[in-house]
Chains A and B, each alone.
Chain A
Amino acid sequence: MVNLFSRAGSCHGYRDAENQDAVLFRKNDRFSVITLADGISVCSAARKGAEAACAAVTDILVRKGGFFMKFDQGKTVDFLLSHILYELKKLAEQEGQAVEEYSSTIASVLVDHATGKMLCFSLGTSLILAAGNGRCRVLTVPSDSTEGCCCTTTVYAADMAQAVVTDAAAWDIVLICSDGAWRLMYDRGHLNEQVREMLLNQECARLECFIEEKECADDYSCISMNLQELQRRQIYRGKTVSG
């Protein structure tokens, strides 16, 4: 139902082989959540920060998912970012480091089994993509990082974060990709035809091979949730939307 892979890029590989991405999946009777955090490479505790942010968001979304489905975009973003910052500050205090050293991007998808709704939340350069019924769609667009990346410790990060609620039943699969991964899946901004086919056929293992075959300097991670399978197992009661 959930497929994930996360590897250190060649740039990190030469240095200390530390992968600074973190991915996480969690579910309960009502909600399923997938999350990906991409640690900012110049920060000394990027990996820890990414893991902490991942855990913080996943945890709160699974526990309080119902609230977020009712919130408007601004409130969701404010709530989630405050929570992440709170957890990061606790960690930073414990370890005696500046909180900025724990910076990462963050992206998360929450599926509500009861309503068939899906909440996508993203801050930074990761991409949330859905595929199904013969088409693919970018649900949250990666943000501009040419002048530096917006991350979990950025003041006024809420201005740059995105939160959208959509119908999960319209899609077969939803995936979150770090920028290292999606850059390999796209050719000049257009989704690679082979990748498109893999996504529509829900061939995550093939996608993994496709990405691994390419040389990538940056860490690359991808976590996907098979919504069709969720539905088939009657975990949620969403209606299938055709066309």
Chain B
Amino acid sequence: MSMKNMLPAPTIRMLNVRKKSTRNSLEQSVRALIDRRTVNRKLKQLYDARGKSSQHTIRKQLFDMFDALGIPYEMKQSDLYYVNLVKNAQIQNPGDVMNGIVKAIYRSFDIYYSPQDYMKRLVDRLSAPEDRAAWEGDSLRLRILKQFMKYGNYLTYERMQTAQEMKAKKDKAMKKAEARLENEPADTAGAKKRRSRRLKQTTVVSIYQGRAVIRKYIKEKLGRMPRNEEEALAQIDDGIFDAFYKVCAAADTWKKRRELRQPDHPYALIRLADELAEGRFRTDSVFRKGLYLFAMVYNMTYYSGEEESVPLYDTDIEKNLFEKYYTNNLMRYITDAQNSAGEPGGEPTGRGINYKNFAEMVYIYYISSDYSPQEKIAYSDQMIEQIKAACYSTSQAHIQRTDATNYYADLMTGSVLKLPEKEFAQFLIQNYDCNIYIRTVTGKDGKPIEERKSALQLQNEQNTAFKAYQSILSQLECTDMPIESCTYGLYFIDVSAEEKFDIIKCLGEEKNETRILEFTQLIKGIHQSLGNTVKEQYSSQTEQQEHKNPLKMIIPALRITRAEDVTRTALITAFYYMFNAQREMDQENEKWCGFGDMLEAFKKRINVYLEEAHYQPFSSENIFDIVVAFSSYAYLNN
């Protein structure tokens, strides 16, 4: 048993203390690091604002600084009182504050939830109390799998067979069955069974395969098939994941590994539960579908912004699966990339719901509805199939009114989500690109093959985000900073040369070496995400010569040319260089009162682009965001 498991269960008070410590804690900690120069600037502002309406706001900001610094003060006093108070108080110097900010970022990283912890908290919050109690001892992946089994019927559903399917089956199987029935007495049990099977006109659709291997696993364990679903839930255990890992280990070719990711792989459902539990956010459409199905089995909600509705932050799909989850996965991606453990090309894009994609809108429609999870799963899949069939065309061009995500985000209002199902499907057909046909190619046997996309791959470009990104780049080009010189990465700390690595120096008395190493990896990862390409080495050139001959290489984040390749981090990177260059040019730039004020200005400006691009706004819970903003502060105060 680990030490962690031996700790006493937290009381309500303890939990609240922890909540307080994590809630916006990073932003609050760094804003609390205020140096004497900053407080003096604020006092000067207060003096200048005498008799003006802004006086009260500045006074409030000064009080916030006192609160953050822990300086006791009286309100409603003269300006002189506050000047004397500052004069006699012990306030840090700017250099100490810089180190303090690195320490604050480290401490925030130290208590940061891992993706696994994040998923556990989410599952705990969303689970029904009876399931939470019954599956308490189970691993997280097993709990998620059980949820899919219990509420999603293994992500399968029964549907009526189409006339075409019926005809094809009749032609084959029915002839045999009929023949057998004729030779058998009508009242035997076997005959009755076969007759009822013959009459059955439904077919089982598996959105993710997995039911068969689960039942087979239980059969091997019990020596018989489970009698009912309760028994299946009671008997399934972590061994099913071991079996899955064996299959993974045996997949020695690229083709087999690719097959493993497909929803029709026998272990697809087990893989989905495992990846969700690990917090491994893949960017492909198969996993994205899995996220929506996860939201359905856990009865998550969607906030449409309707005037009389309220967001339920603890169950909201956008907030929990696309925003906070992204933040967690970004951290994971950056550190994994440093350890070369990440999957290539798997950088979380930061995109939320794709409002241009009709299939995602179908999922949102049913997530907003009051149907049971099983009904939501079945009806959403059926509607997607119907729309695909209705719109499939090898000749017709796409119906897409505009490329702008904004247009589609505005379309999906509460009133549209309240439309009856048929009308909603019709609305999608009329307004969205629902044609999955790509092109016709000639197969090996010379026959034509129609290539198709999956429904979730349609309209995957991020045109609005790309426009926002391009707008930042064009502003960067208008500055004195050549785009080839935007390679300095993080500025507050020297992370490009191992021997000069001074994070440890900043952290001072911190002892946990493993965590410090992980933190170092994260900072280095962010440094490289920001496009650092400079390798420090002794140069034969003078500083002046080096300045004249900048590297003729543009970092990847600044040379994106396709709308589908834009990511939130690329947009932030471009903004970072633009912001620094613009501020540097502007000699009369705003005199920020410390990092807190600068952070406000940074947030305000970057959020214009992030919101326009439909990415989540600057988040003080996101270490990447805070580190980049802090680096800007260090750059401009250099």
Check if B75 sits within 8 Å of A89, measured CB to CB. yes
Q: Mark A180-221, 1 if CB is under 8 A from B, else 0.
A: 001000111111000010000000000000000000000000
Known: A148-B16, A158-B64. 14 other contacts (CB 8 A): A79-B56, A82-B63, A129-B308, A137-B307, A137-B308, A141-B310, A141-B311, A142-B311, A144-B313, A146-B313, A155-B67, A182-B310, A187-B370, A190-B308
Q: Which residue of B lies closest to A179 (CB)?
A: B310
**A74 with B313: CB separation less than 8 A:** no
Number of chain B residues close to chain A: CB under 8 A: 41
Determine if A136 and B307 form an interchain contact, defined as CB atoms under 8 angstroms apart.
yes
Q: Is A81 located at the chain interface by the 8 A CB criterion?
A: yes
Q: Of A42, A135, A147, A189, which contacts B309 at CB under 8 A?
A: A189
Q: Check B308 against A191 for contact (C-beta < 8 Å).
A: yes
From A129, A156, A189, give the contact of B301 (CB < 8 A).
A189
Distance (whole angstroms) from the CB of B467 to the closest CB of chain A:
29
State whether the Cβ of A145 lies closer than 8 Å to any Cβ in chain B: yes
Distance in Å: Cβ of A185 to nearest Cβ of chain B: 9
Q: Which residue of B lies closest to A125 (CB)?
A: B313
Bitwise, A123-137 to B at CB < 8 A (1) or not (0) is: 000010100000111
List B contacts of A158 (CB < 8 A).
60, 64
User: Interface code A63-98, partner B: CB below 8 Å = 1, 0 otherwise?
Assistant: 000000000001100110110011001000000000
Do the beta carbons of B309 and A156 come within 8 Å of each other?
no
Residues on A with beta carbons closer than 8 Å to the beta carbon of B64: 155-156, 158
Spot the interface stretch: B20-28, B380-388, B445-453. B20-28
Indicate whether A189 sits within 8 Å of B12 (C-beta atoms), given known contacts A75-B56, A78-B57: no
Q: Chain B contacts of A136 at CB under 8 A?
A: 307-308
B359 to chain A, nearest CB (A): 22
Q: Is the CB of A156 within 8 A of B28?
A: yes
Q: Check if A138 sits within 8 Å of B307, measured CB to CB.
A: yes
- How many residues of chain A have a CB within 8 Å of chain B? 34
A186 in complex: contacting residue of B16, B22, B310, CB < 8 Å: B310
> Which of chain A's residues have a CB closer than 8 A to the CB of B258?
none
In A105-160, which residues have CB < 8 Å from any B CB?
127, 129, 135-138, 141-142, 144-148, 155-156, 158
Q: Does B514 contact A (CB under 8 A)?
A: no
Q: How distant is the Cα of A156 from the Cα of B303 in the complex, in angstroms?
A: 27
B contact set with A: CB distance below 8 Å: 12-13, 16, 19-20, 22-24, 28, 31-32, 53, 56-57, 59-60, 63-64, 67-68, 75-76, 125, 299, 301-303, 306-316, 319, 370, 621
Residues of chain B contacted by A156 (CB below 8 angstroms): 28, 31, 64
B503 to chain A, nearest CB (A): 27
Chain A nearest CB, measured from B603 CB (Å): 10
A146 to B308, CA, bound (A): 21
Q: List 12 A-B contacts (CB under 8 A).
A: A75-B57, A79-B60, A82-B60, A86-B75, A141-B311, A142-B311, A144-B313, A147-B23, A186-B310, A188-B315, A189-B312, A191-B308
Per CB-CB distance, the 4 closest pairs between chain A and chain B, nearest first, are A148-B19, A148-B23, A147-B23, A144-B313
* CB of A92 to closest CB in B, whole Å: 12
Which chain A residues lie closer than 8 Å to B306 at the CB level? 190
Q: Contact at B314–A82, with CB atoms within 8 Å?
A: no
